[in-house]
């Protein structure tokens, strides 16, 4: 059996794609044989909830599963999974299959040094512009923490956690709407005057009153946001978005209303909401998902098996659930602020899995390649190439 230092060297070479197929098998053999207390020293915490699906070599598949089960049971905290798949994936060779399955798990939330030969495009972060009712524009990206402005019982501050917080006392009579807008590659969290918390995704905006003084709490959304609405049975909270209204009293829900998507998607996690558009009206219960057409007043409601996918972006995760290449690329374009171009038609097939949104674009491209999505960056654009 190789010593620990030799196995660590092999492991690092594996992460850098420097092992041949026979060496990969040797590494798996060694990992399956070493004592429990040595395993974590070699692999660290890079492995996650990995799915094994190798058809052509049952012996290697069984050994791989045994190794992964030991690591997951004894040494790691499960953080997520990336098991991108397509119908044609299983036609690749056994060596490539093992590399796909193990490497994808290893690279999730684990950031080995990756040689980058093109301009690095970084993932998004806390970036936003605040526009006050008097037209004053404040760039929240670089402004220091602390009080931003104060007026007649209303204070606006940027917290040490990077949130925008509104505090209004009972005597405030400040009127007028403010707007917070994130660019592509941006996100932001704002706590409104009623203590409702809103997470804005990239390329989105929220228009809201500096203080809530009427019978209703009205806001306007463009793009995507997750809401945790402060409870107030006397003052309904109403979100106007893409020609529809979402009315709540106190609840948690997500709205995806990007105009380049096919529908407006509203997912309810807690409480109850009412959606109305034209003459159509539907009520949602926890776990319900409503799809609304941009062109018509039709509202379709169904029970979602996995509401986590709707709010994964809030937790800095891409969550693809049988998503087409076009859907995946639109999310990548918004988060990395990069133009996507296709050589020919977008590749066919659907893909499922999770990837950290904190990954650099080179890391993301590498992970997607394991599932057969071939991309490259050229002249600042992300080029999607046809399947081989």
DSSP-assigned states of every residue in 102-149? HHHHHHTT--------S------EE--EEE-TTS-EEETTTPPSEEEE
pLDDT band of residue 334 (cuts 50, 70, 90) is very high
Whether 188 and 138 have beta carbons less than 8 Å apart is answered as no
- What pLDDT sits at residue 15? 59
At 213 the pLDDT is 86
Q: How, if at all, do strands 125-126 and 186-191 pair?
A: parallel
| Lowest-confidence segment of 15-19, 34-38, 71-75 by average pLDDT | 71-75
Q: Are 246 and 198 in contact (CB under 8 A)?
A: no
Percentage of the chain exceeding pLDDT 70? 70
In whole angstroms, give the CA distance from residue 124 to residue 163.
16
Q: Looking at residue 73, what is its pLDDT?
A: 41
Tokens representing 24 are 């990969």
Please give the residue that has the higher pLDDT: either 312 or 8. 312
Q: Which residue has the higher pLDDT, 191 or 99?
A: 191
pLDDT tens sequence across 149-185: 888 778 999 999 889 999 988 777 777 899 999 999 9
Residues of the chain with CATH 3.55.50.30: 316-384
pLDDT in tens, 242-262: 999 999 988 999 999 999 999
Helices 361-370 and 325-336, packing angle to 10 deg: 170
Where in the chain are all domains bearing CATH 2.60.120.1440? 125-310
Alpha-carbon dihedral 256, 257, 258, 263, rounded to 10 degrees: 100
95-109, 166-180, 273-287, 320-334: the lowest-pLDDT one: 95-109
Q: Domain 125-310 belongs to what architecture? A: Sandwich (2.60)
Query: Where does 316-384 sit in CATH, by number?
Result: 3.55.50.30
- Mean pLDDT, residues 53-82: 43
Most confident of 25-39, 40-54, 373-387: 373-387
What's the pLDDT at 7?
72
Q: pLDDT by residue (tens digit) across 273-319?
A: 999 999 999 999 999 999 999 989 999 999 987 899 999 999 999 99
């Amino acid at each position: 059996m190789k010593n620990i230092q030799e196995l660590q060297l092999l492991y690092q070479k594996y992460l850098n794609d420097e092992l041949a197929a026979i060496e990969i098998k040797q590494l798996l053999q060694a990992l399956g044989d070493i004592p429990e207390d040595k395993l974590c020293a070699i692999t660290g915490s890079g492995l996650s909830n990995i799915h094994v699906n190798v058809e052509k070599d049952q012996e290697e598949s069984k050994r791989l599963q045994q190794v992964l089960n030991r690591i997951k049971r004894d040494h790691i905290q499960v953080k997520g999974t990336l098991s991108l798949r397509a119908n044609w994936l299983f036609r690749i060779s056994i060596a490539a299959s093992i590399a796909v399955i193990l490497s994808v798990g290893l690279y999730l939330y684990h950031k080995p040094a990756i040689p980058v030969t093109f301009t690095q495009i970084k993932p998004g972060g806390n970036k936003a512009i605040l526009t006050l009712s008097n037209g004053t524009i404040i760039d929240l990206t670089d402004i220091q923490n602390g009080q931003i402005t104060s007026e007649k019982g209303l204070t606006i501050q940027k917290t040490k956690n990077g949130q925008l917080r509104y505090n209004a006392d009972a005597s405030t009579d400040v009127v007028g709407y403010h707007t917070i807008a994130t660019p592509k590659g941006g996100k932001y969290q704002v706590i409104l005057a009623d203590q409702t918390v809103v997470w804005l995704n990239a390329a989105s905006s929220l228009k809201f009153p500096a203080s809530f003084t009427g019978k209703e709490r009205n806001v306007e959304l463009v793009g995507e946001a997750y809401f945790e609405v402060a409870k107030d049975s006397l003052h309904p909270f109403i979100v106007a978005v893409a020609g529809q209204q979402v009315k709540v009293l106190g609840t948690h829900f997500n709205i995806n209303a990007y105009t380049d998507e096919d529908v407006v998607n509203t997912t309810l996690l807690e409480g109850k909401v009412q959606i109305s558009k034209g003459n159509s009206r539907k009520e949602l219960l926890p776990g319900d998902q409503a799809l609304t057409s941009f062109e018509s007043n039709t509202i379709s409601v169904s029970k979602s098996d996995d509401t986590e996918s709707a709010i994964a972006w809030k937790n800095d995760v891409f969550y693809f659930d049988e998503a087409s290449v076009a859907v995946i690329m639109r999310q990548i374009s918004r988060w990395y602020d990069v133009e996507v171009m296709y050589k020919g038609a977008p590749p066919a097939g659907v893909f499922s899995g999770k990837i950290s949104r904190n990954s650099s674009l080179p890391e993301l491209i590498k992970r997607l390649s394991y599932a057969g999505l071939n991309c490259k960056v050229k002249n600042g654009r992300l080029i999607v190439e046809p399947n081989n």
